Structure 1
Amino acid sequence: MWLVLAGALISLAQAKRLALLLLTLSLLLGLYQGLLSWPAGVLILLSASLVGLRLRYPANPQLQSSTEALLVFICIGLFLHLFPGFHQPPHVEAVRAGPQSVPFSFSFNLDKALIPFLLLACTPTLFNTAAHPPRHNIVWFALVAAIPLLLCLAVMLGGLGFEPHFPAWIWAFMLANLFFVALAEEAFFRGYLQHRLRQRVGGDKALWITSLLFGLVHFPGGVLLVIFATLAGIIYGLAWHWSGRLWIATACHFTLNMTHLLFFTYPALQH
C-alpha cells in the first residue's frame, strides 16, 4: 500500500489522473488492511467534494476562497493528526538508533500523505512556481553546506551527539520520511504557506514568517528543537524560493533528516 501511495505522490505533479488512480487504490488497500475507518472515509469524501466544487466553479471567487479555507483547515488537522479514523500503528516502536540516542518510534502517516493532494487543488503551482534564483550559483553550495553545519551546531548546543549508525529499519524510515513527512510538510509550509505569504508580503518576510511557524509547531520537543527547526526552515524556504520547486525543498528536508539519522544521535542525545 505504501509504495502505491508513494507512487501517487511522485506522479502528482505531472500525471494527475494516474496520481488519483493510485491514491484511490492505496485508500482501498488501507480500508482493506484496517488502516482506515468510517470517520476518515467521511473526511476524505468531504475533502473530495470541496475539491470538486473548486474545479466545477473556478470563476466564483467567493466559493474559491471559502473552499480553500476549509481545505487548508483540513490539512492542518491532518498535519496534527487531529482527525479520527486513521489507524497508524508504529512501524518501529521505542527503539534506539544508537546507545546515546533517546528511544523513538515512527509510523507511516496516511493522514499527512493526503496534504499535497488537497493543497494542489488550492494552488495549482504547488510543485512548480516562479523561481527567484540568487545572483551567484555558489550560494547554493553554501545552502547545502548549511545542512551538516546546522547539525553540528545542535551538537555544540548539547541537543545532539556524533553517533554514526545504519539501523536495520533504515529503508522503511527513508520511505516514510521522504513521502509522508518531508513532502507533506514542505507542501504545506513552503508550497502553500510561503507561496501565499510571498504574494502578500514579499519573499523575505514570507521566508521568516514561514520558518518561524515551522519552528513553533515543533514546540512539544522543547525550545532547542524550535530553534533548530526554525533554522532548518530557513534552509528549506530558501531552497524553495530560489528554485520554485517543491521537490527541491523536500530534497533538502530529507537530506537533513537522513544526515541526522546516519551520523548523529537520533532523534536527540540521551542525557
Structure 2
Amino acid sequence: MWGVLSASLFFLPFNRLIAFVLLVAAIGIGVHHQILTPTSLGCLAIIAIGIWLRQHYRQQRMVSVVLELFLVACSLALFYHLMPGFNNPLMVEKAKLGPLSSTYSLYYNFDKALVPFLLMACLPTLFNTDQPDRVVGVSAWVVLALSIPALLLLAVALGGLKIELHMPPWILAFIMANLFFVSLAEEALFRGYLQQRCSRWLGAYPALIITALLFGAAHFAAGWLMVVFATLAGLIYGLAWMWSGRLWVPVLFHFALNLTHLLFFTYPLYQHP
C-alpha cells in the first residue's frame, strides 16, 4: 500500500490521472487493512466534494476563495493528524540509534501524505511555476547545497546534536516515509503553497522570511533550538524554491538534510548523559 501511495505522489506533478488512480488504489488497500475507517472515508468524501466544487466554481472569485480556505483548513487538519479515522501504523517504536541519541519512533502517516493532493487543487502551480522568483548560477546552488552540512554542524556547535554514525536496519522504510510522507508534505504546504501565495501578495523575500518563521514555529514542541534550526532550514528550502520554481527541488534539499542528519548525527536529538 505504501509503495502505491508513494507512487501516486511521485506521479502527481506529471500525470494527474495516474496519480489519482494510484491514490484510489492506495485508499482501497488502506480500507482493507483498516488504516482508513468509515469515519476517515466520510471526511475524504467531503474533501472530494470540496475539490469538485472548487474546480466547478473557479471562475466565481468569492466562492472559489471560500472553497480554497476550506481545503487549506482540511490540509492543516490532515497535516497535524486532527482529522479522525486514520490509524497510522507505527513502524519503528522508541528506537535508540546510538548511545548519544534520543529515542525515535517512525509512523507511516496516510493522512499527512494526502496534503499535496488538496493543495494542488487549490494552486495548480504547486509543483511547478514557469517563472522562478530569481535565477542564479551554479555557484549559488553549490553554496546552498553546502549549507546543509553547515547547518547540521552549527547544531553541533550549539549543543543540540553530536556527530554519531548510524545505519539502522529500517533505513529503507525511513527513506520512503521521509521523502514522500514528510518532506513532500511539508514542502507542499510551506513552500509550494504558503511561500508561493505570500510571494504573490508581498514579494519574494518577505514571503521567504515569513514562511521560514512559520516553518520554525511548527517545530515549537521540540524546543527553542529546534525552532531556530528549522527556521534556518526553512530559509534553505525557501531559496531552493525561489531559484528553481519546482517543488521537487526543496523536497530533495529537505530529504537530503534529514537523511544526512540520520546517518551522521545524533537522531533526532542529542540526549545528555
Task: Confirm or deny a common fold (TM above 0.5).
Answer: yes
Could you tell me which residue of structure 2 aligns to residue 204 of structure 1?
205
Could you tell me which residue of structure 2 aligns to residue 226 of structure 1?
227
For residues 9-158 of structure 1, what are the structure 2 equivalents within 5 Å? Answer: 9-129=9-129, 130-158=131-159
Q: Could you tell me how far apart the structure 2 residues matched to 1:83 and 1:97 are? A: 31
Q: Secondary structure at the match of 2:267?
A: coil
Q: Could you tell me how far apart the structure 2 residues matched to 1:136 and 1:89 are? A: 43
Could you tell me which residue of structure 1 aligns to residue 191 of structure 2?
190
Instruction: Read off the aligned partner of 2:161 and give its amino acid letter.
Output: L
8 Å contact 2:89–2:109 — kept in the other structure? no
Q: Secondary structure at the match of 1:13?
A: coil
Instruction: Read off the aligned partner of 1:266 and give its amino acid letter.
Output: Y
Q: Secondary structure at the match of 2:90?
A: coil
133-142 or 242-251, which deviates more: 133-142
Q: Could you tell me how far apart the structure 2 residues matched to 1:150 and 1:218 are? A: 16
Instruction: Read off the aligned partner of 1:32 and give its amino acid letter.
Output: H
Q: Could you tell me how far apart the structure 1 residues matched to 2:16 and 2:88 are? A: 26
Deviations 1:207-236 (A, max 9, x none): 000000000010000000000000000000
Instruction: Read off the aligned partner of 1:269 and give its amino acid letter.
Output: Y
Q: Secondary structure at the match of 1:91?
A: strand
TM-score (norm. length: structure 2) = 0.98
Q: Could you tell me how far apart the structure 2 residues matched to 1:144 and 1:74 are? A: 33
Gaps of 5+ in 2: none
| Displacement of 1:55 | 1.5
Instruction: Read off the aligned partner of 2:231 and give its amino acid letter.
Output: T
Deviations 1:21-57 (A, max 9, x none): 0000000100100101122111100110011011222
Deviations 1:56-110 (A, max 9, x none): 2221111110110000001111111111100012100000111210111011110
Relative to structure 1, the CA distance from residue 136 to residue 15 in structure 2 (aligned partners, 3 Å threshold; closer, same or farther) is closer
Q: Could you tell me how far apart the structure 1 residues matched to 2:133 and 2:224 are? A: 32
8 Å contact 2:88–2:108 — kept in the other structure? yes
131-140 or 260-269, which deviates more: 131-140
8 Å contact 2:237–2:250 — kept in the other structure? yes
51-60 or 167-176, which deviates more: 51-60
Q: Percent identity?
A: 49
| Displacement of 1:267 | 0.2
Could you tell me which residue of structure 1 aligns to residue 171 of structure 2?
170
Please provide the CA RMSD for this pair.
0.8
181-190 or 46-55, which deviates more: 46-55
Instruction: Read off the aligned partner of 2:166 and give its amino acid letter.
Output: H
Q: Could you tell me how far apart the structure 2 residues matched to 1:72 and 1:58 are? A: 15
Aligned length: 271
TM-score (norm. length: structure 1) = 0.98
User: Displaced runs of 4+ in structure 1, greater than 3 A?
Assistant: 133-136
Instruction: Read off the aligned partner of 1:157 and give its amino acid letter.
Output: L
Q: 1:255 and 2:256 equivalent?
A: yes
